[in-house]
Structure 1
Amino acid sequence: MRVLQPAEWSKPRGFSHGVAFDGPGKWIVLAGQTGGENGEYQPDMAAQVGTALKRIVKLLGEAGAGPEHIVRLTWYLTSRSEYEAAGGGIGAAWKETLGRNFPPSTLLYIDGLVDQRAKVEIEVTAFVPGA
């Protein structure tokens, strides 16, 4: 996988503008993962992001993949102010689960999710190159 980063563009923090890959492989598409586990939600955004990211890593593992195979994330967030206030905690959760992988990401602020206690939902597309 090759990160797309034009030399004259400033390098983004926490994501990539795009990635390109060639050859055979396996696509993995995950449904949106929320910050809830066993029907319970932590009250703060950072904890919910941490739970969602752990769920993503677990599902990728089921497919024989890891965070390094993520090629796109789409985040749905219910509060801009909570997201901005939780920056440090979200960064720590990211480092713990995804490490130094920064795939292309899109963040959307929305009115709400299906479960009213959910503050975040993250969709994932991943690609595992063939041997």
Structure 2
Amino acid sequence: MAHQIIQPEGWAPAKGYANGVLAADGHLFVGGQIGWTVDQKFEAHDFIGQMVQALRNIRAVVEAAGGTPEDIVRLTWYVTDKAEYLAAQADVGRAYREVMGRHFPAMAMVVVSALVEDEAKVEIEATAVLSKA
């Protein structure tokens, strides 16, 4: 098989997209994750809370594919409020390390006018490279 769809156990079904796609060569592409729970509900309404949940979601997809956060090689962040992100930078670093440890892959930050889910303040997509076992 050329690729495998990755869906963490217990997550609400993805509609019209995949949460993760694992290629035969070990490249894992994690679709944009936002700050909602496995039931697709927002429990956090602030930037840091949603960022932490989005990173937890990425971690869950990577782990469901058999990887670890250290396998992540790229993160692309989409934020709706640059000023809110900049004002929270110290908290961003602390919260990031809490979920991902001290692993810092290549990253890009893009400011967007809105995300598809109106309540979302951040969306993060990832690429990981898992060793073929």
Fold match by TM threshold 0.5: yes
Separation in structure 1 between the aligned mates of residue 35 and residue 26 of structure 2, nearest angstrom: 26
- Helix, strand or coil: the match of 2:67? coil
Query: Aligned pairs, how many?
Result: 108
Q: Which one has the largest radius of gyration?
A: 1
Q: For residue 58 of structure 2, what is the amino acid of its counterpart?
A: I
Q: What amino acid does structure 1 have at the position aligned with 2:62?
A: L
| Structure (1 or 2) with the greater strand fraction | 1
Aligned to 2:46: 44
Rounded to whole Å, the distance in 2 between the matches of 1:41 and 1:120 is 14
Equivalent of residue 104 in structure 2, options 91, 102, 105: 102
Residue ranges of structure 2 left out of the alignment (5+ in a row): 1-23
RMSD: 1.5
Q: Which protein has greater RCO, CA pairs closer than 8 Å, 6+ apart?
A: 1
Residue 116 of structure 1 corresponds to 118
Contact map agreement 1:72 1:126 (CA 8 A) in 2: yes
Could you say what secondary structure the match of 1:100 adopts?
coil
* TM-score normalised to structure 1 length: 0.77
Q: Aligned ranges for residues 1-131 of structure 1 at < 5 Å? A: 25-37=25-37, 38=39, 39-130=41-132
SS at match of 2:26: strand
How far 1:88 moved relative to its partner?
2.1
List gaps (5 residues or longer) in structure 1: 1-23
Pairwise CA distance, 1:129: 2.4
Runs of 4+ more than 3 Å apart: none
